[in-house]
């Protein structure tokens, strides 16, 4: 009887643990869903209290991190109306194990890309935060730049990375592999260790052209911009992107203004002609483009020049904004996508 009761108690404890775990995972997924579906400008971004209270002197910040025995600093570029930034904070940086790991190894400096306050860079030169964001090519937020204690930038990532993927990025930096191997190659090798058998991707023939793919823009005398979607097999972010982004009516409407193709990032068998006329497999081209994430969207102009990319978790609002940005050729005025979005929002507000 005593043993029987003990087994029941143990079973109840296990069930409660599993229930709490499921609830925890659901909350994280739900937060991710809110920001993936939500529109631009809904977030009122607040950096976590554990971010370093910087006086915007990165030399001093890095020196203090060194004295504290940390690996360096992470500059977290964001903006007030960035839902993807808030999702990064709420899901990835709020994950207990990830947060502890980051806090133990780095001081995180939060910077708003539109801030006009003065900032001292690592090399001692003085600029503004806004200009620093531009010279750092923080075209989208969040953008994270890792600086090591040797006063050198180690890595830059752009966009929303869930906890598992971000921890792979931390592994990449902290193991020193970044000195030898590109991030995209490292992440691909990590994915190759999966025991799940890749089944290939399912091409949406209603939206994308059929193979063979001749994407040479000059020889083909292209009259429309090119949009390339890279998918990966057995990819949850890809499934989210197809369901919540490519399934959106406005995205599908805008896509009719593009020449569009969908490629398998793992395909190293078939060949295509790239916009600059080279013969490559999809995987070779993905490596040449240095794509880091499982799902990516790359935009090219009519001459075959890359003008914009989304290489992370992407919501439908950011996707529609990016498509309009390229269709308007706004990249000729604003290399920084978010500056164009801010200008567009102000103009719409003035017209009301």
pLDDT tens per residue across span 237-266: 999 999 999 999 999 999 999 999 999 999
The distance from CA 232 to its chain's CA centroid, rounded to whole angstroms, is 15
Instruction: Please write the tens of the pLDDT for every residue from 61-95.
Output: 999 999 999 999 999 999 998 999 999 999 999 99
Inform me whether the pLDDT recorded for 38 exceeds 90: no
Is pLDDT larger for residue 161 or for residue 7? 161
Residues 6+ apart with CB under 8 A from 190: 168
Confidence band of 192 (pLDDT split at 50, 70, 90): low
Q: Between 58 and 343, name the one with better pLDDT.
A: 58
3-state secondary structure of 157: strand
pLDDT at 309: 97
Q: Evaluate if residue 334 carries a pLDDT over 80.
A: yes
pTM attached to this predicted model: 0.83
Q: For residue 225, is pLDDT > 50?
A: yes
Of the listed ranges 43-52, 89-98, 100-109, 194-203, the least confidently predicted one is 194-203
Record the tokens describing residue 64, joined without a space.
Answer: 């203090």
Q: Please, are residues 343 and 324 in contact by the beta-carbon 8 Å criterion?
A: no
Q: What angle do CA 55, 58, 62 make, to 5 degrees?
A: 110
The CA–CA distances, whole Å, from 124 to 151, 156, 325 equal 11, 20, 35
pLDDT digits (tens, 9 = 90+) for 252-308: 999 999 999 999 999 999 999 999 999 999 999 999 999 999 999 999 999 999 999
Q: Is the pLDDT of residue 311 over 70?
A: yes
Q: Residue 271: CB partners within 8 Å, gap ≥ 6?
A: 279, 280, 281
The pair phi, psi for residue 122, each rounded to 5°, is -55, -35
Query: Can you spell out the DSSP letters for 201-263?
Result: PPP-TTTSPPSS-B--TTTTT--S-EEEEEE-TT-HHHHHIIIIITTSHHHHHHHTTSEEEEE
Residue for token digits 């939500």?
Answer: 38
Residues with Cβ < 8 Å from 289, sequence gap 6 or more? 296, 298, 306, 309
- Give the pLDDT score at 18: 40
| pLDDT above 80: residue 112 | yes
The reply to whether omega before 190 is within 30° of 0 (cis) is no
Domains in the chain (CATH in brackets) are 58-180 (3.40.30.10), 226-351 (3.40.30.10)
């Amino acid at each position: 009887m005593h043993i029987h009761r003990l087994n029941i108690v143990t079973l109840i404890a296990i069930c409660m643990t599993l229930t709490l775990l499921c609830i925890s995972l659901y909350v994280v997924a739900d937060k991710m869903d809110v920001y993936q579906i939500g529109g631009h400008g809904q977030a009122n971004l607040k950096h976590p209290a554990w971010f370093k209270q910087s006086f915007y002197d990165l030399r001093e910040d890095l020196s203090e991190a060194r004295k504290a025995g940390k690996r360096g600093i992470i500059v977290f570029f964001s903006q007030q109306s960035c839902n993807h930034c808030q999702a990064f904070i709420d899901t990835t940086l709020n994950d207990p194990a990830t947060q502890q790991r980051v806090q133990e190894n780095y001081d995180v400096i939060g910077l708003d890309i539109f801030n006009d306050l003065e900032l001292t860079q690592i090399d001692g030169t003085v600029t503004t935060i806004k200009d620093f964001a531009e010279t750092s090519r923080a075209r989208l937020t969040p953008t994270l730049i890792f600086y090591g204690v040797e006063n050198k930038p180690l890595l830059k990532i752009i966009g929303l990375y869930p906890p598992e993927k971000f921890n792979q990025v931390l592994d990449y930096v902290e193991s020193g592999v970044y000195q030898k191997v590109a991030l995209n190659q490292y992440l691909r090798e990590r994915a190759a260790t999966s025991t799940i058998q890749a089944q290939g991707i399912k091409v949406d023939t209603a939206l994308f052209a059929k193979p063979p793919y001749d994407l040479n823009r000059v020889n083909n005398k292209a009259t429309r911009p090119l949009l390339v979607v890279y998918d990966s097999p057995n990819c949850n972010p890809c499934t989210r992107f197809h369901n919540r982004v490519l399934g959106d009516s406005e995205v599908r409407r805008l896509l009719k203004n593009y020449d569009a193709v969908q490629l398998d990032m793992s395909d190293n068998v078939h060949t295509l002609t790239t916009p600059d006329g080279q013969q490559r497999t999809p995987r070779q081209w993905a490596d040449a483009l240095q794509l880091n994430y499982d799902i990516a969207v790359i935009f090219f102009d009519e001459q075959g020049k890359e003008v914009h990319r989304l290489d992370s978790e992407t919501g439908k609002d950011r996707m529609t904004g990016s498509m309009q940005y390229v269709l308007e050729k706004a990249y000729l005025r604003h290399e920084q996508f978010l500056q164009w979005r801010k200008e567009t929002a102000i103009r719409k507000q003035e017209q009301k």
